[in-house]
Amino acid sequence: MNWTKTALLLAVMTSLFVGIGWLIGGATGMVIAFVVALGMNAFAYWNSDKMVLNMYGAQEIGERDDPELFGLVSELARRAQIPMPKVYIMQNEQPNAFATGRDPAHGAVAVTTGIMQRLSREELAGVLAHELAHIKNRDTLIMTVTATIAGAISMLANFAMFAGATGDNRNNPLGIIGSIAIMFLAPMAALLVQMAISRTREYEADRVGAEIAGQPLWLARALENIQSTAQRIDNPEAERNPATAHMFIINPLSGAGMDNLFSTHPSTANRVARLQGMAQGMYGAAQEAPRRGPWG
């Protein structure tokens, strides 16, 4: 269902792009805007992992640096049937984590020192499984495609305004008023769809992550703990770079967390409720399977 919803939202965004191009009547401008946006996002796709890791001062670790964390990621990656990702630690008191990388073969998982200090091993396993689910689901690719189309829409909106300002409205049936409307409404509509896709991918990563860990309630408890603590601890790097907020397991920006139109994340309460329902379906009234193997 989540994949179907994602596909439908991408179709809506693509239709919006094509529709704007038709309204302003600039086929050439539409192509130029799309090519430029594609080039920008292609660069981001190949380099965004290095850029964001540097942005947060993340330091790569090996097995000798933190055997427990490295071993936990390794076991979860094996269960997820993906290559072992690189592991990074960020010196940040806010409990949080994110995944990056253009595909499973180039995946990376980054956790803050705050999350390692505040979560139990089981809760940390739930969080890491969620991030590995993003890598397995190729969510980086999905969000790059979304950003490409959204960027192209914004460029077309600016082109529409320029055309209206210069009086070149021969191909625009809506005229100057239509150009102004496109300039403001089109990017907003693209943003809304982009945020909806981001929230959809978070729900899907929760589901797949719970399956990887084998314990939905581990992630549920982790989300509650992270949410309650993150609201009290600022993340200065995230505040300076809000465009990266959607990458984290919990919105790192202050005052965030509501499941509204402009939120990159579903509400934590909704996510926890889904995970609790998943646990009840898997294990019945007990809601949690007996501990086993490396999770004991």
Structure tokens at 166: 């210069």
Domain of residue 276 covers 2-295
Q: Tens of pLDDT along the chain (296 residues)?
A: 556 766 777 677 777 777 776 666 666 766 776 777 677 767 777 887 888 899 999 999 999 999 999 999 999 999 999 999 999 999 999 999 999 998 999 999 999 999 999 999 999 999 999 999 999 998 887 777 777 777 777 777 776 666 555 555 555 555 566 666 666 777 777 777 777 788 889 999 999 999 999 999 999 999 999 999 988 999 999 888 887 888 899 999 875 444 555 577 899 999 999 999 999 988 775 566 655 545 54
- Among residues 131, 204, 224, 239, the one annotated as catalytic is 131
Best CA proximity match to 82, nearest among 246, 200, 209, 201:
209
**What gap in Å lies between CA 39 and CA 137, rounded to an integer?**
23
Residue 98: per-residue pLDDT? 95
Q: Are 154 and 190 in contact (CB under 8 A)?
A: yes
Name the domain count of the chain.
1
pTM of the model: 0.81
68 counts as catalytic: no
Q: Are 286 and 293 in contact (CB under 8 A)?
A: no
DSSP 248: B
In 58-107, DSSP assigns E strands to 59-61, 86-90, 97-100
Q: What radius of gyration do the chain's Cα atoms show?
A: 21
Best CA proximity match to 194, nearest among 46, 8, 13, 3:
13
Question: Residues 265-272: contacts with CB within 8 Å, 24+ apart?
Answer: 265/198, 265/199, 265/202, 266/199, 266/202, 266/203, 268/223, 268/224, 268/227, 271/202, 271/203, 271/206, 271/220, 271/223, 272/220, 272/223, 272/224
Residue 290: per-residue pLDDT? 57
Residue 160: per-residue pLDDT? 65
